[in-house]
Amino acid sequence: MQPRNKIIVASQHYPPDPSTTAAIMAEIACRLAAEHEVVVLSGSPGELPASQIGPNKPRVVAVNNQIAAKAALVRRSISELLFVLRIFVTLLRQLRRGDVVLTVTAPFMLPYAVVAAAWLKCARSVLIMHDLFPDVLVTAGVLRPQSIMVCVMRAANGLMFRALSAVVTIGRDVERLLLSYSCMTRNKIRFIPNWATLAPAVRPVTLDNPFRKMRAARFIVGLSGNLGFTHDPEIVIEAARLLKDEADIHFMLSGWGIGFERLKQLQADANLPNISFVARVDDIELEAFLAAADLWIIPYRKDAAGVSVPSRFYNLLAVGRPVALVSEPEAEAALTVVENGLGWVVAPGRADQLAGAIRAASSSDAAGMAQRAVTAALRFDRAAALNAYTGLIGELLHHPSLSEQR
């Protein structure tokens, strides 16, 4: 009897890694493992939490991954390339004809290796589109739009999109960019938004919150999470500079990534009294940390619509907090904010507008906005999303390509 086809999840980030991406990939893998054989190729060393161990759970294979600091770009690029090569070799050993492999866009070289291995082994491949390269690097100013490297990466994307069985987008703004590739067809694209990892419910602002009581200001502006190439640390510092004489407003910043390192450098130079940094919080403290701020900011650069979707956004809604989003109006998060009345959308590069939004938030009644945020978070339902992933994988286990359906 021929063995049943299996699912392989290839991800650099997986528990015990504390990132949102790791948590979401683990939930997808565990949901799929309830019905299929699932193997996870993980680049996150360490002991798995108890929730990831036991019957009907994925089998996790640790792939050696020496992660350099994000500020050390050359060393990090080399370590990520080595990790991608190890994933490629492992997939060639693990994949059988008809298997399905699921991956994400971090590091950016990973999807190319995964799709190539799936094509060589006559397997099916699914990419969850968190970031679109090279557009991310163009938005950040790292690459020029017409550079040779951009042309090479777009050509590689064309080959990858042609070979992919399906692309999962987590934002409605991504489809237009994907369809600009002639080899991409609409029926390969599935929109499955992310969800909050915290239970949606309004968390009241309390003075005894451990993250809040260290700060005397009445109104706390928070920033949290990974600040990557598409984020703008300068606008945060400039808005804080514009508000430095308003003693009631204080900025509480916590995160990681190349953009966050730049943010710390800018503050070291500016030495603004209304900014304080918080070390990256553990999962067990995340709810209290997010509940400590009255308003959360997400600062994107210009032209980031369709290129990146903030996964932290859903947890901010889940705790019932408004957001000030620096973004183009057509971006997924901006559409959600405007459609549901969840805060303010600020034009990229306009620190004066961001400062104005913060002032408006500090003097507004947040109760209605908080409840609307929780209501919106409830619509980004974990069970519905996981069922959609299960349905997609089920289709691929029985059909060579979604492009041959409908």
Return the CATH number at 100.
3.40.50.2000
Give the tens place of pLDDT for each residue, 208-254: 899 987 777 899 999 998 888 889 999 999 999 999 999 999 999 99
Specify the DSSP class assigned to residue 106: S
In a domain, 212, yes or no: no
The pTM for the full model equals 0.86
Q: How confident is the model at residue 282 (pLDDT cuts 50, 70, 90)?
A: confident
Residues 174 and 261 in one domain: no
Residues 78 and 227 in one domain: no
Report which of 281, 391, 294, 295 is spatially closest to residue 344, judged by C-alpha positions.
Answer: 295
The C-alpha atoms of residue 295 and residue 217 are separated, in whole angstroms, by 13
Centre a 10 Å sphere on the Cβ of residue 116 and count the other Cβ atoms it contains: 17
Residues 53 and 110 in one domain: yes
Give the tens place of pLDDT for each residue, 5-52: 999 999 999 999 888 889 899 999 999 999 999 999 999 988 888 888
Residues 33 and 156 in one domain: yes
- The DSSP bridge partners found for residue 226 are 256
Please count the CA atoms within 13 angstroms of the CA of 207 that sit on its side-chain side. 3
pLDDT for res 402: 52
Give the tens place of pLDDT for each residue, 126-147: 999 998 899 888 888 888 999 9
The C-alpha atoms of residue 99 and residue 250 are separated, in whole angstroms, by 52
Residues 141 and 281 in one domain: no
Q: Residue 349 is part of which domain span?
A: 219-379
The C-alpha atoms of residue 9 and residue 46 are separated, in whole angstroms, by 18
Q: Residue 26: in which H helix or E strand, if any?
A: helix 20-33
- DSSP letters, 176-223, are HHHTTSTT--GGGEEE-----SSPP-PPPP-TT-TTTTT---SEEEEE
Give the tens place of pLDDT for each residue, 318-373: 999 999 999 999 999 999 999 999 999 999 999 999 999 999 999 987 788 999 99
The C-alpha atoms of residue 258 and residue 229 are separated, in whole angstroms, by 7
The total domain count for the chain is 2
Residues 113 and 17 in one domain: yes
In a domain, 79, yes or no: yes
